[in-house]
Amino acid sequence: MASETGAVLSLSRGPLAATGGSGYERRMALPKIDVLRCLDENCQGMMAYEVTEGNVLYVDLAYTARVDGDTRYFPCPKCGGRNIVEEFTDDKGRTAHRVTRFAAA
């Protein structure tokens, strides 16, 4: 795809690159996004959440997690177990959530 300035944009799944007559090139690293799977080794059921490396929620939907006392969790639709959601601070100082462990129901 070419823009008005003659730059060519690559919209492939890999790194985004824009090059033009001036030799300008910019690359953006895209995060690797996977579907969240149940952390029970015998189940591995797919859940309706997207995660990046370390099971960090890509879109922070921790507010949809069920609450039992101080524990927040996503229930597995396959085995019914609890995938525990915990808050943490990332390298940039932002608060995020990740799924850290499995607990039987």
Same domain, 8 and 57: no
Same domain, 23 and 40: no
Q: Residue 18: which domain range?
A: 1-30
Same domain, 42 and 71: yes
Same domain, 69 and 91: yes
Same domain, 45 and 93: yes
Same domain, 47 and 19: no
Please, what is the average pLDDT of the chain? 84
Same domain, 44 and 76: yes
Same domain, 26 and 38: no
* pLDDT score of 28: 79
CA atoms within 13 A on the CB side of 64: 9
* pLDDT score of 50: 95
* pLDDT score of 18: 53
Distances (CA, A) of 61 to 44, 45, 56, 73: 20, 19, 11, 11
Q: How many domains does the chain have?
A: 2
- With beta carbons less than 8 A apart as the criterion, state whether 47 and 76 touch: yes
Instruction: Please name every residue paired with 17 in a beta bridge, in sequence order, or none if there are none.
Output: 27
Same domain, 67 and 20: no
Query: pLDDT, tens digit, for every residue of 70-79?
Result: 999 999 999 9
Same domain, 67 and 85: yes
Round to whole Å and give the CA distance between 65 and 70: 12
Distances (CA, A) of 38 to 6, 72, 83, 102: 47, 15, 7, 8
3-state secondary structure of 64: helix
